[in-house]
């Protein structure tokens, strides 16, 4: 959600061109949280990745609170620099290959 949306969509498109299936949810309403709607979108998902441009994974906290489920992975960047599609692509690839830690912190552009 927020500023990473464009690079996220670009990274997903890059993965789809390589034959990988990745979905995207842009949660725009945070309060009241659209719990049932988000649950319906996630019902067939095997992995939930929270990608945010902050240190504390604020949206991830709302997901945990309202869906009673933690995201499986967090991809965070809080250097003051924008996320790039390449670093998001690389993070998602690690997740898909089961080589990622639960919390990935992006540092490109330090």
Q: What is the DSSP string of 7-53?
A: HHHHHHHHHHHTT-----------SS--HHHHHHHHTT-S--EEEES
| Average pLDDT value for residue range 5-9 | 96
Return the pLDDT at 18: 97
pLDDT tens readout for residues 35-86: 999 999 999 999 999 999 999 999 999 999 999 999 999 999 999 999 999 9
What is this structure's pTM? 0.92
Asked if residue 3 has pLDDT above 90, the reply is: no
Structural domains of the chain in order of their starting residue, each with its CATH number:
5-105 (3.40.50)
Question: What is the chain's alpha carbon radius of gyration, rounded to the nearest angstrom?
Answer: 13
Contact 25, 38 (CB under 8 A): yes
With a CB cutoff of 8 Å and minimum separation 6, the contacts of 110 are 79, 81
Asked if residue 24 has pLDDT above 90, the reply is: yes
| Average pLDDT value for residue range 18-46 | 94
Q: Which pLDDT band, with edges at 50, 70 and 90, does 109 fall under?
A: low
The average confidence (pLDDT) of the chain is 94
């Amino acid at each position: 959600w927020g500023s990473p949306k464009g690079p996220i969509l670009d990274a997903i498109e890059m993965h789809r061109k390589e034959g990988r299936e990745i979905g995207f949810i842009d949660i725009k309403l945070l309060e009241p949280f659209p719990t049932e709607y988000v649950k319906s979108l996630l019902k067939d998902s095997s992995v939930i990745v929270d990608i945010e441009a902050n240190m504390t994974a604020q949206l991830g906290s709302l997901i945990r609170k309202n869906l009673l489920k933690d995201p499986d992975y967090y991809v965070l960047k809080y250097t003051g620099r924008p996320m790039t599609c390449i670093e998001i692509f690389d993070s998602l690839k690690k997740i898909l290959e089961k080589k990622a830690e639960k919390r990935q912190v992006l540092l490109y552009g330090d």
